[in-house]
Amino acid sequence: ARIRHYKWEIKYEYRSPDCYKKLVITINGRTPGPTIFAQQNDTVIVEVKNNLLTENTAIHWHGIRQIGTPWFDGTEGVTQCPVLPGDTFVYKFVVDRPGTYLYHAHYGMQREAGLYGSIRVALPDGKSEPFAYDYDRSIILNDWYHKSTYEQAAGLSSIDFQWVGDPQSLLIHGKGRLNCSTAKSPLKADVCNNTNPECSLYSMTVVPGKTYRLRISSLTALSALSFQIEGHNMTVVEADGHYVEPFVVKNLFIYSGETYSVLVKTDQDPSRNYWATTNVVSRNSTTPPGLAIFNYYPNHPRRSPPTFPPSGPLWNDVDSRFNQSLDIKARKGHIHSPPATSDRVIVLLNTQNMVNGTRRWSVNDVSFNLPHTPYLIALKENLLHTFSQTPPPEGYDFANYNISVEQDSNGTTSDAIYRLQFNSTVDIILQNANSMVTNVSETHPWHLHGHDFWVLGYGRGKFDRINDPKKYNLVDPIMKNTVPVHPYGWTALRFKADNPGVWAFHCHIESHFFMGMRVTFEEGIERVGKLPSSIMGCGETKHFRKP
C-alpha cells in the first residue's frame, strides 16, 4: 500500500459555472475539486489550507469509514472543531475498500458553494473487477443556486422564514448553461454572459465500439435527479462502493450522496454526438434540465447533437423510483450476508415542525442542534455536561400519528445522541410522512457516516412492525451508505455498530440538514485511541489544544 499525498488550498473565487458570475469555493483553483486517486489500503493524506479569509471549514470523506481514525471524518461539531481561516488541517486516513466515493465541506451549508469532489479507489494490482470495461470516467452531478450560502442559511433560520426555492441550474461535472436572456429578471452581461467559455457545456469524449465505466455521483443541495444518455442504456454495476447484480436502466435515479457505476456501450451511430441530461424528479421544479455532450470521437466535442435533448421521467412518477430502489441487489458471489436479527430497532419519523416560531426538519418531532463542543472530544474527555443526557426518542406515537396528512407541527430541539452498544446490530426504520404542506411528502436521502448498512426493504405507507420485517431481504441486500426514503414510504436499514467513534446520520439535502434533519450515534467510545490535538480548540476543548 502506498501513501497518496495531496496539498489543497481552498478559497473563494469568482466563477461562472452556469454563465452566472458568483463567488464559489475552489480547491487549488477548481470546482469540483481534484479527484483523489488511490488503491485499496492506501493511506491518503490531505493537507487543507483554509484560505477562505473569514470562514471556517471542515471536509468530510463521504463513504470512507475511517476505521481507527474517527477524528478524521471531517464532521464539524461531531468529530472535530472547525478549521479556522489561515489554518492548515491535515487529514490522514486509509481507504480500505475499492469503489467510488466523495468528499465535500461539512460545515454549515458550505458544500453547495462548490467545495466537493470525488474519490476513486481502485483494486490492488493484480485484482480485477467482476465486470469488464475499456475506460473508466467520473461525472459528478449537482444543482446550483445563485444566492450565497449565507443568504440561504439566514433565510432558513429566521422567524420570517425564507425557503431557498428551486436551484437556478443543474450542473454536470461543474458545468451548466443558464439562458441569461430568459432568466426571470434580465441579467446584465457582466453578471451573466452566455458567450463566456467557462460555461460551455461539459463534453465527454468517447471512442465508438467500446465499453465505458461511468462513475456517476450526486452532491445536489436539494434535487433528486434522473440522469440519462440519449440513445444509450446503462447497466448498473456498483452502488456506494458495492457490486450490484447488474440491471439495465434508461434513466438512472440518483439522490444526493449516492454514487453508482454504470457500463455504457458506445454502439450508436458514430457520425454524431448525443445528449447527456439530468432532470429534477420528486419536486415540481422550475429548474431547467442539465445538459452535457456525449461526444463520439472524432466529432467536434462542442458540436450540438442534431436532436432535442431527451426529457426525463415525470417528476411525480414515484413508482419508477421505488422500483429502481428495489432492483438494487448485491452481486452474486459478492454478497455480505446481514445478521439474521437485530438487537435494537430505532424508528425515525421524518417530520417538519415549528420550533419557537422557526420552521425545522426533525425526526420524531425533535430537531437537531449542534452543541459547542464536538461529541467525539466531549465523550472521550468526559465532558458530558456539554450536551443533553436525555436520550432522544426511539420512535413516535405509532397508534395515533397519521403519516398521510399534516399533523400538529409543534416540535422541540435537542443535542442528545443515540448511544449504541458496541458490536450490536441496529435496525433503523426511516418513516416518511406528510410535511407541513398539504399533499406533500418529500424524498429524503439519508447518509450514515462511519458504516455501510444493509438495505433490508422499502415500503409504502406506515411501517408495520409485525408484518413488514417478515418481508425483509436477508438474502442479497445491497450495502450502501446513502439511501432514499420515498414519499409516504419507509426504508429499513441494518448495520453493525462496530466502528468506535461518533457518527452523523442525516438527510443529505443541504437545507434539510441545516434545518435539523440529523441524528448522531456513538459506539465503542472507550476503544477510541488518543485524539489528535489538531481537532481541538473550540467549545470546552480550548485548553486541550497543544501549541
DSSP 197: G
Compare residues 51 and 481 and give the one whose CB is closer to ligand C2O.
481
Strands 518-523 and 501-507: antiparallel
Q: Which stretch binds ligand C2O (CB under 6 A): 9-17, 153-161, 504-512, 520-528?
A: 504-512
321's contact among ligand C2O, Cu ion, none, with CB below 5 to 8 A by partner kind, is none
Cα dihedral sign for 237, 238, 243, 247?
Answer: negative
447 part of the interface to ligand C2O, by CB under 6 A: yes
CB of 481 to ligand C2O, least distance (A): 8
How many residues form the binding site for Cu ion (CB under 5 A)?
4
CB proximity list for 151: less than 8 A, separation 6 or greater: none
Q: Which of 60, 177, 331, 359 binds ligand C2O (CB under 6 A)?
A: 60
Whether the bond into 298 is cis, omega within 30 of 0: yes
Compare residues 119 and 249 and give the one whose CB is closer to ligand C2O.
119
Angstrom distance (rounded) from CA 36 to CA 66: 16
244 part of the interface to ligand C2O, by CB under 6 A: no
444's contact among Cu ion, ligand C2O, none, with CB below 5 to 8 A by partner kind, is Cu ion
The residues in 370-399 that bind Cu ion, with binding defined as CB under 5 A, are none
The residue written with cell numbers 471512442 in the block is 207
CB 494 within 8 A of CB 454: yes
507's contact among Cu ion, ligand C2O, none, with CB below 5 to 8 A by partner kind, is Cu ion
Question: What is the helix (H) or strand (E) element at residue 414, kind and residue range?
Answer: strand 412-414
DSSP 529: -
Q: Which of 21, 65, 329, 449 binds ligand C2O (CB under 6 A)?
A: 449
CB of 31 to ligand C2O, least distance (A): 16
**Bridge partners, 448 (sequence order):** 505
HEC string of 428-452 equals EEEECCCCCCCCCCCCEEEEECCCC
CB of 97 to ligand C2O, least distance (A): 16
509 part of the interface to Cu ion, by CB under 5 A: yes
Q: What are phi and psi of 91, to 5 degrees?
A: -90, 140
CB of 469 to ligand C2O, least distance (A): 28
Name the nearest CA neighbour of 418 among 347, 485, 512, 510: 347
CB of 506 to ligand C2O, least distance (A): 6
64 part of the interface to ligand C2O, by CB under 6 A: no
The grid cell for 340 is 439474521
The residue written with cell numbers 459555472 in the block is 17
Compare residues 50 and 407 and give the one whose CB is closer to Cu ion.
407
173 part of the interface to Cu ion, by CB under 5 A: no
232 part of the interface to ligand C2O, by CB under 6 A: no
Q: Which of 15, 22, 62, 360 binds ligand C2O (CB under 6 A)?
A: 62
457 part of the interface to ligand C2O, by CB under 6 A: no
242 part of the interface to Cu ion, by CB under 5 A: no
Compare residues 277 and 520 and give the one whose CB is closer to ligand C2O.
520
The grid cell for 501 is 467513534
Angstrom distance (rounded) from CA 507 to CA 451: 15
Angstrom distance (rounded) from CA 80 to CA 63: 18
Whether the bond into 32 is cis, omega within 30 of 0: yes
Q: What are phi and psi of 436, to 5 degrees?
A: -80, -5
CB of 511 to ligand C2O, least distance (A): 14
Angstrom distance (rounded) from CA 344 to CA 493: 12
509's contact among ligand C2O, Cu ion, none, with CB below 5 to 8 A by partner kind, is Cu ion
Name the 3-class secondary structure at 89: strand
CB of 251 to ligand C2O, least distance (A): 23
507 part of the interface to Cu ion, by CB under 5 A: yes
- Amino acid identity at 193: N
How many residues form the binding site for ligand C2O (CB under 6 A)?
11
Compare residues 292 and 430 and give the one whose CB is closer to Cu ion.
430
Q: Which of 32, 82, 257, 457 binds ligand C2O (CB under 6 A)?
A: 257
Residues that bind Cu ion (CB under 5 A): 444, 507, 509, 512
Residues found near ligand C2O in the complex (CB under 6 A): 60, 62, 75, 104, 106, 257, 447, 449, 504, 506, 508
